[in-house]
Amino acid sequence: MSVTATIRIQEADFDVAQEIAALSKGRTDVGAIVTFSGVCRGSENGEPIAALTLEHYPGMAEAEIGRHADEALARWPLQGLTIIHRFGRIAPGENIVLVVTASSHRQAAFEAADFLMDYLKTNAPFWKREESEKGTSWIEARDHDDAAAARWTKP
């Protein structure tokens, strides 16, 4: 049976346990579930921040995440895949992003989740702006995220 990824781009928060249950409830073919939760930190480079605001490109965000979800499903034997990315204002301690991968064995679940997060960071059209006492500023992309994503490109 072919697996379809669940992809949601939303302003509202999500419940990690509920998303895991949605992928695994009533199933006996799943042997491993890996979840990655990206959470808003309370400081950036040692400076406290009040909140992050995430801007996204509606339409392209779904399309881009969908392309990478399809690639993950083609590369690893997954039984389930859920990707949720929030936009809007997010306070420290709140969720930003969630990747849940379900597979028969752990290696595929770990690798697919790692791959998806590397590509979400570098290719999904989202931009973070941080609020602090000094005002607001856009967070700059990091070279090490590009390097991490490049690991998955086959030579």
DSSP secondary structure code for residue 29 in this structure: S
Least CB distance to other proteins at residue 96 (A): 7
Nearer to other proteins, 133 or 140 (CB): 140
Least CB distance to other proteins at residue 22 (A): 22
List phi, psi (to 5°) of 153. -80, 120
Give the residue among 64, 55, 57 at the shortest CA–CA distance from 96. Answer: 55
Element (H, E) at 100: strand 95-103
Nearer to other proteins, 79 or 82 (CB): 82
Least CB distance to other proteins at residue 104 (A): 27
User: How many Cα atoms occupy the beta-carbon half-sphere of 152 within 13 Å?
Assistant: 20
Least CB distance to other proteins at residue 137 (A): 9
Nearer to other proteins, 76 or 87 (CB): 87
State the residues that interact with other proteins by CB under 8 A: 38, 54-57, 59-60, 63-64, 85, 96-97, 117, 120-129, 138-141, 145
Nearer to other proteins, 13 or 127 (CB): 127
Residue 127, classed as helix, strand or coil, is strand
Nearer to other proteins, 99 or 102 (CB): 99
Q: Are 23 and 99 in contact (CB under 8 A)?
A: no
Give the residue among 154, 151, 125, 128 at the shortest CA–CA distance from 140. Answer: 128
Residue 33, classed as helix, strand or coil, is strand
Least CB distance to other proteins at residue 136 (A): 10
